[in-house]
A and B are shown apart, each in its own frame.
Chain A
């Protein structure tokens, strides 16, 4: 089947099998690699992307379901080489080690902050519950998301 959708701002039209998962489309057809595959069971969240601004696990969505919609991967966040505040915060707060979970964490955090721009520590944890990290113990991930929220505030008031 033919799907048309927007990926990181670029309109695309591709011939795919109806059963193709979005994550495989992004990785194998679009040549993107931010969305990682860490499990076979929708457990890890390493594949998280934004679908019309909402974070979704791209291993759990058919590309056909994304037809006509807008997908953003972590690669599509930075504009003119300027990192998104959440990306900056993950880097500055050491919210990553191996980094395999990071693109998914960043997208889940952006989805969370879009819904709740001023989350408490516990709300951050609840919002990221579907994303596993094996390296960091999550402590600095939480700090990064809180820092990104503060930074967004500072930008508004500045």
Chain B
């Protein structure tokens, strides 16, 4: 480490490492030397505990460019690894010849499936995905061979010299056709990954007003800005250390160990700086590959994907086809919903079963519906594998059910917001799984709040604010404004009986005469700001301002995944519990010193306080006897698996809700859309860091906007047609409007501090609100997202 006089890996705020601990990078690196430890301490008079918008501890490193992402890691003598991927979506591998590749000057290793020492299969829920394809490839982009060389270009050149003889097979690309009895089985158990059934109430309900619709949601990419990257370092004794940008270190470790045939103590993982995640880093990418190359060559191996490779290197959001039918009584009360959903899981299962679980159990939307019949199917095809992405099944369902709500309101002659509010879930409502909502569910209030927000001024004549912008496609003629509403919900945390826990180690000690807290969890910081939350909780619970967040690694127990909007809840809960245990021991020392009779002992502002007395003493006085350290494993209350035939059960620990209002200007002649406003109200239970909460809502809203009007991985015959940022468009700063955010805080009595997960709900309702606004402007059905210009301006 090149920092002077500081313990390696303990710079405040840097959760990744500049270089592997204790090993100096060979290149002239600027060390993060401009980072005094004080930089991130709260200022005088600032408590910086929970509820304050204290700044991120990694903010300084990030604005100076010194924060080390996976792509920044560097070691002396390291090699570069590259992946050879299948160009075919479905093919049998007859042979792989590596001789010419291996003979290339500068190449150190060329590996194929025969070189995988352990189990050549991994996966989050089912181990069905090969580390390197052996005899069959099931999607275009599937890894087949690896090369390590002394330069990335050499490695790429050598990879192009690997001769793979493929017998090309016809791909199965339609998820509905894949379920036909005569469809070729892509996996030994057939093509069905999961069929979720929900049966509630009357199996054959009737209603006064019935509307039906078929909806299609395209495949979205997480498009995190920092492509997959990591560095594997052999330990010289048969083990390996992997520095990697990821979402869940321990689930990676488990899968890597199985593939390498090594026990957990031989495979250590450290989180490198993460350039965004959004679900796309929950599955393995280069993890095992880099480890294999490192163990094989005995040298550190770095792998960094290009943007193009990134499109093949991670799972995407499931494209979904949904048929909905809703019935309501003539007074506007929902009577029933039936839905059939097909989720294209692509070639491997990844988290498809859980995504199906969400799409199905949340498929009726945040409404009270007495009669529910939902069938959700997750299916294998030869399309790119799909898995986790922010909103995880709830996003796709919401496009369908919210379109249905607008249709029903129109059929009933009701205002769409009034209709929604009339049927909105509230605390005490029973969901489609029979689960009773036992914490606040302010669905109607969220809708009314966005409805009451001021509307943007009506269209300006300035070209730059019109659809088409400086493309000069209109001067206002043909422009119609539309307003749309949507509300959505999602489970927080892992569901259906999953043992969802986190581990936190908290230490309180004197450093240079001052009390300092050190907090260590394996919870991945991916940009959301968990490192800030961990510090804030420690400050609040222990009354100490200086909190050091240890880099995230596997030397502490699992924190579970940075996904499902769960880390503030679950790892926050673990940190709180560990702090409480530390505090108990400190207060025991206080009592031992003869302060037994004092009531209400507590810690604040560096002091031990008691009811009705002055300060009992400084916290530091009670640390002379040595540091206090506690490691706590913390779980939220358990959930249950749902009944396989009826879908009934206490499946989800918590629900989170958000509502959006979108205002759009549409050029009805050209089909161009400009989102003018996208305002949101969301209940977050309790905002531990209000500024970070608002940032999550704004970022999540923008991703929903992207899916509504521009983002789609176009797959034709199993091939991705647009793997680049010129052809896969994500919203630019001109595409996203300023956003008004209303944050509600109705505490969940079951959650630590009352928090409710924040990250995903804004991605669920923003897109449907945008599409509703375009429908309002155009009168078109728009049953497919993303909405393209031809859907608006083409033949109806």
Contacts and interface: CB of A to CB of B under 8 A. Distances in A.
Interface of A: 28, 30-41, 43-44, 46, 73-75, 77-78, 81, 83, 87-88, 90-92, 94, 96-103, 106, 121-122, 125-126, 128-129, 131-142
Contacts of B34: 78, 81
B732 A137 contact: no
B695 interface: yes
Given A33-B65, A87-B64, 7 more contacts: A40-B307, A41-B726, A74-B64, A83-B60, A91-B59, A97-B699, A129-B732
Contacts of B452: none
25 contacts: A31-B30, A33-B29, A36-B69, A38-B307, A39-B725, A40-B724, A78-B64, A91-B56, A91-B59, A91-B62, A96-B56, A98-B275, A99-B61, A100-B275, A125-B734, A126-B734, A129-B732, A129-B734, A134-B224, A136-B695, A137-B702, A138-B698, A139-B698, A139-B738, A141-B733
A40 B308 contact: yes
Contacts of A139: 698, 736, 738-739
Contacts of A34: 64-66
Nearest to B28: A31
B66 A33 contact: yes
A134 B221 CA distance: 11
A128 B731 CA distance: 12
B526 interface: yes
Given A83-B60, A137-B739, A75 B66 contact: yes
Residue among B65, B526, B732 with most chain A CB within 10 A: B65
A105 B673 CA distance: 26
Residue among A131, A133, A141 with most chain B CB within 10 A: A133
B399 interface: no
Given A33-B66, A39-B724, A41-B725, A137 B274 contact: no
Interface in B23-58: 25, 27-30, 34, 36, 53, 55-56, 58
B470 to A, nearest CB: 9
B306 A40 contact: yes
B733 A32 contact: no
Nearest to B306: A40
Interface in B57-80: 58-69, 71-72, 74
A64 B29 CA distance: 22
Contacts of A35: 65
B276 interface: yes
A74 B56 CA distance: 19
A-B residue pairs, 7 tightest by C-beta? A34-B65, A98-B527, A99-B62, A100-B275, A74-B65, A137-B698, A43-B725
A32 B30 contact: yes
A39 B307 contact: yes
Given A94-B691, A100-B276, A140 B698 contact: yes
Given A33-B66, A87-B63, A100 B225 contact: yes
Given A91-B55, A137-B739, A138-B702, A36 B64 contact: no
B692 A100 contact: no
Contact of A44 (B59, B69, B273, B725): B725
Contacts of A43: 724-726
A81 B277 CA distance: 31
B464 A126 contact: yes
A128 to B, nearest CB: 5
B724 A91 contact: no
A94 B689 CA distance: 11
Contact of A96 (B36, B63, B274, B724): B63
A133 B225 contact: yes
B276 A134 contact: yes
Nearest to A138: B733
Contacts of B27: 28, 31
B529 interface: yes
Contacts of A36: 69, 71, 225-226, 275
Contact of A97 (B25, B527, B701): B527
B596 to A, nearest CB: 45
Nearest to A29: B27
Contacts of B695: 94, 97, 135-137, 140
A81 B36 contact: yes
A94 B698 CA distance: 12
Residue among A37, A39, A121 with most chain B CB within 10 A: A39
A30 B28 contact: yes
A63 to B, nearest CB: 16
B99 to A, nearest CB: 29
Nearest to A82: B34
A125 B71 contact: no
Contacts of B110: none
A31 B25 CA distance: 10
Given A41-B726, A137-B739, A100 B64 contact: no
Contacts of A128: 733
B227 interface: yes
Nearest to B529: A97
A73 B586 CA distance: 47
Contacts of B273: 99
A97 B528 contact: yes
B730 to A, nearest CB: 6
A135 B55 contact: no
B278 interface: yes
A134 B732 CA distance: 9
B733 A142 contact: yes
B473 interface: no
A29 to B, nearest CB: 8
B423 interface: no
B447 to A, nearest CB: 21
A140 B692 CA distance: 10
Contacts of B340: none
Contact of A99 (B527, B694, B733): B527
Contact of A137 (B71, B72, B278, B736): B736
